[in-house]
Chain A
């Protein structure tokens, strides 16, 4: 089924279909296509056999080649991207650059370098998570040229540079978590052949990615909600992980104008409490204080939010009341047996764990402004359903330091991404011979990840 789908896709993609139809149907263009074929043959001939590639390292030769071409060097491939002005770096312009490259030369000379350059620049254009762009990038490779045509070619590493470049594209997709699709596969098969390294890499990705896709039982939604109240709602349910707990919005963010004409930003206050927490709070000894503590950080992908908890110290062991067994509790059957036998060791499946009583947490909240006044508002809101809070002393134990951090963190928008670690690592080396570095880089990852 897979292969038929690939074939269908092949036909749909039209390129080969067009070529086939050219060959078969139109005598007028047949000369052209023959010429085209000849060109390909020539190209193939020029690149010669793997044996010679072994003797003469590919990068050196391709640099030579570029020099003989005398107009373009590797640097110019990056230039293509750098010619785009900073403010118009979008998917459309990125695609345009690719189009420019593919149309410039029927032989696609220097396409490996171009692809490496493009991979580096993708995050700048904000297309590093776009599957269609990766496919378009793969499309830059000339088709059917690198497919091994006999068993000797198949045995040896046929066109290693190109294959490594193909693998590199897939690696980058992998590191951004982009799942290739059938089009990717068709392209790879067209370019490198059925059992080439990039196709193997593709198969490995397709083996692992679907398995890992839902491995996180608590997925963070993509994209995160913009509204701070919705974000707080999401974060609090995520921390509480209790289907019974109820979210209460104590205050919506709004701007108020005081009598003196001053404008005040009222912060949002969103709290969460479950019935069992209410029960615990109701049982709390009113002579002991409860604490409002925070802020504690919670990371949601690249956004950090802060929350506050209402908690108490654990009840000391001497104050704990053990529930006494009442034989007149259940009308229908005994709840406990009056036996002097304990569970046998062989059936005791409990672990020996040192229990540490951390004390109960009664409620949590999130607010954009973690000062005592705001949090007091939360506590008085809680008091409506938990009357005991009126009798219990409430202490505020707030860390001041993080306030500033929070303020500093806030302007950072959720979707501006720090540079990709891979590129970060490469940057300091960029003044060396870039191609050699890339070569080594890709080979290493090739060996490690594939």
Chain B
């Protein structure tokens, strides 16, 4: 097998023009060619991704149009992988049993190992499958059909061994990756501690250098470690003393710890609501000797390693959730079509139909976002797609949870029983908004990273405005007047150099309008709050929500445009889904942006804070009981 990334680059250069031409999408093809040329020139200096530019009210269409593709050979290859995995999951995996016994049977695990699923992204030279992010996402669609297996595999390769993969040196890779790829060894990621979630400063686990300078001794305990019970290799983060500029400081360092080093004990598995088959437990380290050569990256450089691992693992949740929802739609639509009430089948009722539309739209949007992001990550260079990945995670985890619960609702009481798998899906999907960075924290990340970027660009302008620069003020007022008089924003998605298909033109216009309004909203937020915006979490939440919506709109527009242009089956349905979604989200965005305006009546922030304060001060609901009386 050849190196996938290299292959991808070649594939992109060659067949694109031809396939576009053959599908009679002239303008799109030309555009794509031009983009191609531009991209090859600045391949390696690419540091910008798409989302950050949205904060400036710009659409960097070169990044997201056309929708990323894989080559024909690669497509064949992935189909070869997918078929046996699908067969394995439908025939060999008994999810109900795994859930009931809270354990994945050894033969199932062996089957997964044989399929190579323990080393999907490990390069072939180390014995893995060496697949790209896109293909990893595709496989995750199937793996996600069982939450426990998905989490076990994700803990192993999305975070557990990722440290070695992205920051380890050659010797470490050679030593550990082959066995990890084959599944002989299972990996775990040990970061969270009883007193430390996202807070690096409160990590208590400590690594001290032994007197001979050859070993570190690790002491401490870590909680909620997936695979903690049976992992052989662990990525452990611990505090070490480092000398910076002559001052001794505590810094985080990442270590590869083998269970065979001794001194590691793991607690009993946690009794969880969902993903019960995954082994989550506490792991304690008692004077575990770790050789100095097992430090990942530099001593004291563990913070960056941890951040990179966490940021890189998130994009695949989009395709996982989409896979899950697609499966659920099959199961529920079967029921809705056969179940009769008042001599009509359930599928004839509007409220039931609405649920299916919701599921279809959600699955479509998640897929689009996940593969767009995966495609961006697969591009040559070192693109920073952490913002996009976080957005995919937030959108799909929340959508996944809602869709699972709506699917259960279609079945009513039956869905609530253990005779059907829906209750298990609902339980399993509840973890999605929690792990891999809670959605609240990711929203903060998305909004603040963008604000930081926009702030750097806009600081000069805002300072001028605060000084009272007449020219700028007049300019601004003129622009506001123009938009309020109905001049539409043209950011180049449609029209002469357009990249969006005509049947989606209206949605594209809506996206453009949203983006330009978002740009000016961000500017006014920076003007109002400056750097103190970090404390305005309710504002940041809305900013993140708008950005996620904008990215989702972009993804569906890009995907649907491509589908029409190359004439994929049922592309008219995609157009329908895309237009419906964009129309819906357009109004939501406008509402959110109105809320972000100063003293907007829709903005209930002050009241919300007051209510929460009253409750939290008393630590209870403080209203009198409705049956109370005063006389």
Give me the interface of A with B, judged by CB distance under 8 Å: 179, 181, 206, 209-210, 213-214, 243, 326, 328-344, 346-347
Contacts and interface: CB of A to CB of B under 8 A. Distances in A.
Contacts of A335: 534
B631 A206 contact: yes
Contacts of A336: 531, 534
B375 interface: no
Contact of A243 (B530, B532, B619): B619
A142 B449 CA distance: 82
13 contacts: A213-B630, A214-B624, A331-B191, A332-B444, A334-B445, A334-B449, A338-B531, A339-B531, A343-B529, A344-B530, A346-B528, A346-B598, A347-B528
Contacts of A326: 200-201
A210 B630 contact: yes
Contact of B449 (A329, A333, A344): A333
A328 B530 contact: no
A344 B532 CA distance: 10
A333 B441 contact: yes
B609 to A, nearest CB: 12
A341 B199 contact: no
A341 B200 contact: no
Main secondary structure of the interface of A (DSSP, over half): loop
Interface core residue of A341, A342, A347 (most chain B CB under 10 Å): A341
Interface string B227-256: 000000000000000000000000110000
Given A334-B452, A347-B598, A328 B303 contact: yes
A338 B453 CA distance: 10
A340 B532 CA distance: 11
A329 B199 contact: yes
A341 B631 contact: no
Given A341-B459, A346-B598, A332 B437 contact: yes
List the 10 shortest-distance A-B pairs measured between CB atoms, nearest first.
A341-B530, A210-B630, A333-B445, A328-B303, A339-B455, A339-B531, A333-B444, A337-B531, A343-B532, A342-B530
B42 interface: no
B3 interface: no
B191 A341 contact: no
A330 B199 contact: yes
Interface of B: 191, 198-201, 251-252, 303, 306-307, 310, 437, 441-442, 444-445, 448-449, 451-452, 455-456, 459, 462-463, 466, 526-534, 598, 618-619, 624, 630-631
A339 B198 contact: no
Nearest to B441: A332
A183 to B, nearest CB: 12
B530 A343 contact: yes
A181 B456 CA distance: 69
Interface core residue of A209, A328, A340 (most chain B CB under 10 Å): A328
Contact of B528 (A243, A332, A343): A343
A331 B189 CA distance: 14
A331 B455 contact: no
B530 A339 contact: yes
Nearest to B252: A328
B390 to A, nearest CB: 9
Contacts of A347: 528-529, 598
Contacts of A343: 528-530, 532
Contact of B459 (A179, A331, A334, A339): A339
Contact of A337 (B200, B252, B452): B452
A206 B630 CA distance: 10
Nearest to A347: B528
A207 to B, nearest CB: 11
A412 B428 CA distance: 67
Interface core residue of B303, B307, B532 (most chain A CB under 10 Å): B532
Given A331-B191, A331-B200, A344-B527, A337 B303 contact: no
Given A331-B306, A332-B310, A341 B455 contact: yes
Contacts of B529: 343-344, 347
Contact of A342 (B201, B532, B619, B631): B532
Contact of B200 (A179, A330, A334, A339): A330
B555 to A, nearest CB: 23
A356 to B, nearest CB: 24
A17 B61 CA distance: 90
